[in-house]
Chain A
Amino acid sequence: MALQLEHVTKRFGAVTAVNDVTLTIPEGNLFGFLGANGAGKTTTFRMILGLLEPTEGTITWNGEKIGYSKSHLIGYLPEERGLYPKLKVKEQLIYLGRLRGLDKAAIVKEMEAWLERFNVPEYAEKRVEELSKGNQQKIQFIAAVLHKPKLLILDEPFSGLDPVNVELLKEAVIDLKNNGTTIVFSSHRMEHVEELCEHLCIMHRGRPVVYGPLKEVKRSFGKKNIIIHADMPLDELAEFPGVVKMKRTAEGVHLQIENEDVSQKILSHIANKGFIRKFALEEPSLNDIFIEKVGAAYE
C-alpha cells in the first residue's frame, strides 16, 4: 500500500528531466519534495498523475497504474495557480468537484465546511477575480481536497501566502494526513518541509540526491552545527580542525562541524578563554543539507 516509483526516467528529446528515480511513499505519509527550479519536481508530479508518460520505469499506486479511472481518489494542487476568473467560487467548486466524481450536495456541504475553516464563508458567492491571490489559493486548495482524496499532490502549496494563511493551510495539511491521506508536496521553504514531513527527497537535476526519513537524513548527514555566544573573539575557530564553515553573528559565531566529537574539543578549547553565554550543539538544518547536496545557495 504505497505510491511506488521504480526507475522512472523522463526525457524530452535530448533533455532528461527526471533520471532514474526510485521512491516509495508509504500510505498515510507526508512526503516532501525539494529541489531547485528545473530539478524535475513538477515533471515527476505530472507523471504520478498520469499527465505525462514516463520514458522508462513504472509508477504505481497500491500496485496499480494511476489513470483517469482513479481521478476521484487523487487531489492535485498545481504549481501554477488558476481558476476560472469569471465564475463564482461555488460554481467553480461544483464543476471541479463533479469532475472528481462528487455530487452537488456533497460538494456544497464540504465547501461550506472548508470556507468556514478558512474564515471566509462569504466567498461562496464571489467571483474568483474579486479575491486576492492568497484567497484564490485557499479556494484552489479546497478544490484539490474537496473530494477527500486518498493521494494528495501539492505543488508549492505555501508560496505566495502570508504567515497567518500559511499556518491555516499547514494545519489543514496535517489534519488531512491524520485522516489517512497520503500527501506529496514540494516546497521552496526548507522550514516547511522540516516541520511537516516525515519523509523527504531532494531532487537535483532530475535525480534524488537525498532520500529517506527526515531523522535519518539528518543523522546520516553527520555534520552538526554549534552556536556559540561569547564575549571574546572567536575568529581563530575557523581554522580549528574539524570545522567546516564559520559564520559570524552579532553575538558570536555559528559553526558547522564534521561530527559531534569536534564539539567537545572546541568546548574545551574555548572554556578558559572567556565568558561563554551559550554553547549549543544542534542537528543540521535541512537548509544545510540542501546547500551541501545541491551545491548552491537556494532561494
Chain B
Amino acid sequence: MNKFWIVLWHTYTTKLKAKSFIITTIITSLFVFAIANIQHIIEFFTKDEKTTVAVIDTTGAFYEPLAAQLKQGKHDDLQLKKVTGPEEKAKAAVRNGKWDALLILSADDKQLPKAAYYANTIADSDTPSELEQALQQLKTAIATKKIGLKQEQIAQLYEPVPFEKVALEKNAKTEEELNQARVLVYVLLFAMYMFVLMYGGMISTEVATEKSSRVMEILVSSVPPLQQLFGKILGVALLSLTQFAILFAIGFTALKSSGQELWNFLGFDHLSVSTFVYAIIFFLLGYFLYATLFAVLGSLVSRVEDVQPMITPVMIIVVAAFMIAMFGLNAPESSFITGASFIPFFTPMIMFLRVGLLPVPFWEVALSLVLLVATIGLLAFFGSKVYRGGVLMYGKAGSLKDVKKAVQLTKK
C-alpha cells in the first residue's frame, strides 16, 4: 500500500508544480472572478453609453405620452429628442452619428400610433424593442380610451391571472426553490462535465507519456499495476479537487462581496446540504468511473499523439450524458431520465440532476450508487489487467482491438 501513496503523492506534486497547471488555474480563477463580477463589468462599460433617438412626431400628439411611458419604464440609458424638420435631414444626422437612431411617429387611419425606426444598423435590438413596447402600451391606452373603458377597467384587463403552482409531495421543492435548484444543478453539472473531460484527458495523456518515454517498464516492474493505476487516478483527483477548491473559494468570495444579484440567482442561500453532498459524491464517483476508463485507454497507445482518437468514444459518452442532463433539467420526471439515471455511465450527472430537482426515494439513489460503484470496481479489475498488458505493448496506433491483445499478454 505504501507504494500506492508514493505514486499518488508523486502524481499530485509534480502536476501541482507544473507551469501548465499554475497558468490554467490562474486563468480560470480570473475567469471565475470576472463572471462573479459580470454586472460590475457590464455597468462599467455601459455607464456612459446613452442611446439618443431622434423622434419626428408627424401628429404632434404621440411624443409626450411616449416619453412619459419610457420614463416610467426606468430606461435611463435611452434618451428621446424631439426634432422637427425634414426626414432626410434627420436620417443624414443619424448617418453622421449625431443621433443613434431616428423614430418617425405617425398615425394610421384609425388615429392609432405607428412608427418607423431608422438606425445605421439594427444589430442593437434592445432599443427598438423598448420603443416598440412603450409604443404598444401607448396604443393600448389610446385604443381602450376610444372604446370608452375607464382606467381601472383597463387595469383589470391587464392584471395577470393568479396562477400558483403547488407541489403535493412533501419533500417537493417549491417553484422558487426549483428555479434556483435548476440553476445550481446546471452550474454543478457543467463543472462536472468540464472536470471529467479535462482531468480524464490528463490521465490518458499521463499514462501515454509514461509509455512513450518508456519509463513505464521500470514502473511496472516495481509497482503492481492496480496500485499504480489508482495512485495516478487519485493523485489527479486530488489535483482536480485542489483546483476546484481554489476556484470555489474565489468564486464564493467574489460573489459574496460584490455579486449579490448573481449570488441570489444561483440560490446559494437556499443551497441544501444534501444537494452539496450529493454533488461531491456523484462528482467523485463519476470522475473515478471515467478516469479509470481513460487511464486504461491511455495504456493501449504508444504515443501521446494517439491518445485523442482512442479516448474519443468515451468523450462522446460524457457529452451524451451532459446533453441528456440538459434535456432533463426541464423534464426531470420523464421516464427517459429516470431510466438513464440508472445507467452507470450516466448516473453521476442524471441521478444528481434528479436528486437536485426532485424528491427521489432513497432506495433509488442507493441502487444507482451501488450500480455505479460496482461498475467502477469491475472496470478497475478488468482495467488493471488491460493496463498491465497494455503498458508492455508497443506498436502502431492503438485501437480498441488491442484490449484483447493486452489481456492476452497478462495470461499464461
A99 touches B412 (CB 8 A): no
Which of A13, A50, A80, A99 has most chain B Cβ within 10 Å?
A99
Within 357-412 of B, Cβ neighbours of A (below 8 Å) are at: 388, 392, 394, 408-412
Judge whether A241 is part of the interface by a CB distance below 8 angstroms: no
Judge whether B178 is part of the interface by a CB distance below 8 angstroms: no
Q: Can you sample 5 A-B contacts with CB below 8 Å?
A: A50-B221, A51-B221, A53-B411, A80-B217, A81-B214
- Binding stretch for chain A, among B3-11, B35-43, B145-153: B3-11
B409 touches A52 (CB 8 A): yes
Judge whether A240 is part of the interface by a CB distance below 8 angstroms: no
B222 touches A85 (CB 8 A): no
Within 1-37 of B, Cβ neighbours of A (below 8 Å) are at: 3, 6-7, 10, 14, 18
How many chain A residues touch B (CB < 8 A): the figure is 32
Q: Contacts A53-B410, A91-B14 hold; do A78 and B217 have CB atoms under 8 A apart?
A: yes
User: Which A residues lie within 8 Å of B408 (CB)?
Assistant: 12-13
Judge whether B215 is part of the interface by a CB distance below 8 angstroms: yes
User: Which A residues lie within 8 Å of B224 (CB)?
Assistant: 68
User: Which B residues lie within 8 Å of A144 (CB)?
Assistant: 218
A53 touches B412 (CB 8 A): yes
- Please give me the 5 A-B residue pairs with the lowest Cβ-Cβ distance, nearest first: A82-B214, A78-B217, A80-B214, A99-B222, A82-B215
Q: Which residues of A contact B (CB under 8 A)?
A: 12-13, 46, 49-56, 68, 71, 74, 76, 78, 80-87, 91, 95-96, 98-100, 143-144
Grouping DSSP codes into helix (H, G, I), strand (E, B) and loop, the A interface class, with mixed when no group exceeds half, is loop
Q: How far is the CA of A13 from the CA of B411 in the complex (A)?
A: 10
Q: Contacts A85-B213, A95-B10, A99-B6 hold; do A46 and B392 have CB atoms under 8 A apart?
A: yes
User: Which B residues lie within 8 Å of A84 (CB)?
Assistant: 210, 213, 215
A76 touches B410 (CB 8 A): no
Q: Contacts A12-B408, A95-B10, A99-B7 hold; do A76 and B223 have CB atoms under 8 A apart?
A: no
B392 touches A100 (CB 8 A): no
Q: How far is the CA of A12 from the CA of B410 in the complex (A)?
A: 10
Q: Contacts A83-B215, A100-B222 hold; do A51 and B392 have CB atoms under 8 A apart?
A: yes
B14 touches A76 (CB 8 A): no
A82 touches B221 (CB 8 A): no
Q: How far is the CA of A51 from the CA of B10 in the complex (A)?
A: 23
Grouping DSSP codes into helix (H, G, I), strand (E, B) and loop, the B interface class, with mixed when no group exceeds half, is helix
A55 touches B215 (CB 8 A): no
User: Which A residues lie within 8 Å of B262 (CB)?
Assistant: none
Q: Contacts A12-B408, A51-B392, A53-B411 hold; do A87 and B14 have CB atoms under 8 A apart?
A: yes
A99 touches B409 (CB 8 A): no
Complex partner residue of A52 from B18, B213, B215, B392, CB under 8 angstroms: B392
B220 touches A51 (CB 8 A): yes
Within 205-228 of B, Cβ neighbours of A (below 8 Å) are at: 210, 213-224
How many whole Å from B314's CB to the nearest CB in chain A?
26
B412 touches A76 (CB 8 A): no
Complex partner residue of B213 from A46, A54, A83, CB under 8 angstroms: A83
Which of A12, A52, A85 has most chain B Cβ within 10 Å?
A52
User: Which A residues lie within 8 Å of B219 (CB)?
Assistant: 99
Q: How far is the CA of A144 from the CA of B215 in the complex (A)?
A: 12
Q: How far is the CA of A143 from the CA of B394 in the complex (A)?
A: 23
Q: Contacts A12-B409, A51-B392, A87-B14 hold; do A98 and B6 have CB atoms under 8 A apart?
A: yes
User: Which A residues lie within 8 Å of B6 (CB)?
Assistant: 95, 98-99
Residue of A nearest to B17 (CB): A91
Q: How far is the CA of A83 from the CA of B10 in the complex (A)?
A: 14
